Amino acid sequence: MQRLQPALNTWCSITSRLITLLCLSASSGVSLVVPQPNINATVAQNILLSVEYSCQGVATIEWKHMSSWGTTSIVEWRSGNYVNISTVYKDRVTTFENGSIQLRNVGMRDAGYYFVTVMEEHGTNAYGTIIVNVYEIIYEDLHFVAVLFTFLAAVSAILICFMWLCNKSLHLFQKKTTHKLTGISLKI
Ligand SMILES: *[C@@H]1O[C@H](CO)[C@@H](O)[C@H](O)[C@H]1NC(C)=O
Ligand SMILES: *[C@@H]1O[C@H](CO)[C@@H](O)[C@H](O)[C@H]1NC(C)=O
Ligand SMILES: *[C@@H]1O[C@H](CO)[C@@H](O)[C@H](O)[C@H]1NC(C)=O
């Protein structure tokens, strides 16, 4: 479920385009790969915001979250130096060497845009964006219940047909047996 307003969406896409342009025009010694720029998650899931950066020197990585509720700084760290996770995310975020972060137990409020900035010592930066959609589990459950209900209805229909057939053939069988028995008793 995309919770962002259209205006914000447009603004974000313009911003990310500008960022991409800036990124391309800068002859940077730092590069960043975002293999999955769109993540669909359900409430309470753990997600990996996966990126991979490469640079010559020591880099500082910063992650920010932007949604209709505002922009929040998540974490900032310098490889092999310090990790500064903001208090709101203290127990929910793990950082990785390649610049990725894991966000545990996502809620509806975690939907939105995640901006990552990799800053090299000599001033060159690389930027990346990941869009996260968070879906409420209730819809999944309802879908599951609907599928299960259809399945059970189909199974019971088949069973009823089967029982009807059984019943029919049993009747035929019983009729035949009775005939035979009467035949025998008549002979006696
Ligand atoms: C996420 O969902 C949207 C629409 O619901 C779909 O277009 C997109 O491909 C999905 N992305 C992933 C990574 O599954
Ligand atoms: C970054 O590292 C994490 C943890 O080792 C890994 O799961 C993820 O796939 C890596 N990302 C990339 C783009 O290589
Ligand atoms: C960590 O973040 C807090 C608040 O954003 C800031 O005051 C502090 O200086 C930061 N620490 C480091 C080592 O960057």
Does 145 share its domain with 113? no
What pLDDT score does 89 carry? Answer: 96
Q: Give DSSP secondary structure letters for 33-67.
A: E-S-SEEEEETT--EEE--EEEESS-EEEEEEEEE
Q: Give the total number of structural domains in the chain.
A: 2
Q: Which atom of ligand 2 is nearest to the CA of 34?
A: 13
What pLDDT score does 24 carry? Answer: 47
Does 184 share its domain with 125? no
User: pLDDT for 145-173, tens place per residue?
Assistant: 888 889 999 999 999 989 999 888 888 87
Does 74 share its domain with 144? no
In this structure, what is the dihedral angle of CA atoms 8, 13, 19, 21, given to the nearest 10 degrees?
A: -150
Closest ligand to C-alpha of residue 128 is 2
Does 30 share its domain with 51? yes
**81 CB contacts (<8 Å, ≥6 apart)?**
58
Determine the distance separating the centroid of ligand 1 and the alpha carbon of 57, expressed in angstroms.
Answer: 36
Does 148 share its domain with 122? no
Does 71 share its domain with 124? yes
Closest ligand to C-alpha of residue 42 is 1
Name the closest-CA residue to atom 6, ligand 2: 50
Tokens matching residue 19: 């960022």
Name which residue leads in pLDDT, 152 or 23. Answer: 152
Q: What is the mean pLDDT of the chain?
A: 83
| AA letter at 46 | N
Does 122 share its domain with 165? no
Does 52 share its domain with 112? yes
Say if 1 falls within a structural domain.
Answer: no
Q: Which residues line ligand 3 (CB under 6 A)?
A: 82, 84
pLDDT class for 16, splitting at 50, 70, 90? low
Quick check: helix, strand or coil at residue 117? strand
The CATH number assigned to the domain holding 126 equals 2.60.40.10
Determine the distance separating the centroid of ligand 1 and the alpha carbon of 41, expressed in angstroms.
Answer: 10
Say if 141 falls within a structural domain.
Answer: yes
Does 77 share its domain with 170? no
pLDDT class for 144, splitting at 50, 70, 90? confident
Q: Which residues line ligand 2 (CB under 6 A)?
A: 35, 48, 50-52, 96, 98, 100
User: pLDDT for 75-133, tens place per residue?
Assistant: 999 988 999 999 999 999 999 999 999 999 999 999 999 999 999 988 789 999 999 99
pTM of the model: 0.65
Residue 58 pLDDT > 80, yes or no?
Answer: yes
What pLDDT score does 178 carry? Answer: 64
Q: What percent of the chain has pLDDT over 70?
A: 77
What would the 3-class secondary structure string for 60-71 be? EEEEEEEECCEE
Q: Which residues line ligand 1 (CB under 6 A)?
A: 38, 40, 133
Does 113 share its domain with 149? no
pLDDT class for 176, splitting at 50, 70, 90? confident
Q: What percent of the chain has pLDDT over 90?
A: 57
Closest ligand to C-alpha of residue 53 is 2
What pLDDT score does 181 carry? Answer: 58
Range of the domain at 67: 6-135
Last residue in a domain, options 103, 118, 135: 135
Does 131 share its domain with 95? yes
